Amino acid sequence: MTKKVLMVLTNQEKFSDGTPTGLWLEEAAAPYKIFEKNNIAVDFASIKGGAIPLDPNSVANDETKTYADVVNKLGDSLKLRDVVFENYDGVFIPGGHGTMYDLPNNPDLQNILAFYKEDGRAIGAVCHGPSAFVGAKLKDGNYLIDGVKLTGFTNNEESAMKLDEVVPFALQSELEKQGGRFVVGENFTSHVVTDKKFVTGQNPQSSVEVAEAFVKVL
């Protein structure tokens, strides 16, 4: 039977200061290609549905041509609330700074994440994608990531990008506050952490490796 993955993306196209942001294309496109190669079906979803904004910096080198088929699919994502999430074997959440605005504390997404963890299904995220875990709790009231080894875009990397004053919160700090056992790798170098059914990658450089690890967990 073909495995199915729900990829949850951001609809947010601007930082709070008005600077354009969105999805970091490679973090969705590279995993999509790896899933496709492994005969894993992928559906794109977002909080509002519809077109996914791409961070302009993530398409500066003609990535839209490299990933033209994926970009085309990103033009029309499913609305998360309408998705029958029980039909998927795993959820995968790419990053881009947009995720920090619309994915944390979203009840529909939190419901999916809690169900997947409690049902033993795969949960993957890369770079700022783990912002989706912020505020998510299980039925027993514990945080989704309490005691889970994971990674994501680090405070050091945010500072190196000079965006630590712009983002709504520090991702690493927030995940640590909620009990996540955050593992830091070198800045802007591929770094992936797998803990049972959780698979997380630190930055855009981790996109391929995190997708390959996610396939193994699936």
Q: Indicate if 186 belongs to the active site.
A: no
In the block, residue with structure tokens 């996610």? 214
Rounded CA gap, 177 and 187, in Å?
21
| Burial class of residue 81, CB neighbours in 10 A (0-12, 13-18, 19+) | middle
> Residues 13, 157, 158, 174: which is the catalytic one?
158
Rounded CA gap, 119 and 104, in Å?
21
> In the numeric block, which tokens belong to residue 119?
């049902």
Rounded CA gap, 189 and 204, in Å?
9
> In the numeric block, which tokens belong to residue 85?
């999430």
Rounded CA gap, 98 and 10, in Å?
6
Strand extents, DSSP E, 75-187:
78-79, 90-93, 122-126, 149-150, 181-182
Contacts of 121 (CB under 8 A, 6+ apart): 88, 89, 90, 91, 115, 197
> Residues 127, 157, 174, 209: which is the catalytic one?
127
Q: Indicate if 127 belongs to the active site.
A: yes
> In the numeric block, which tokens belong to residue 194?
């797998």
Rounded CA gap, 63 and 56, in Å?
10
> Residues 13, 128, 174, 191: which is the catalytic one?
128
Return the active site residues. Answer: 127-128, 158
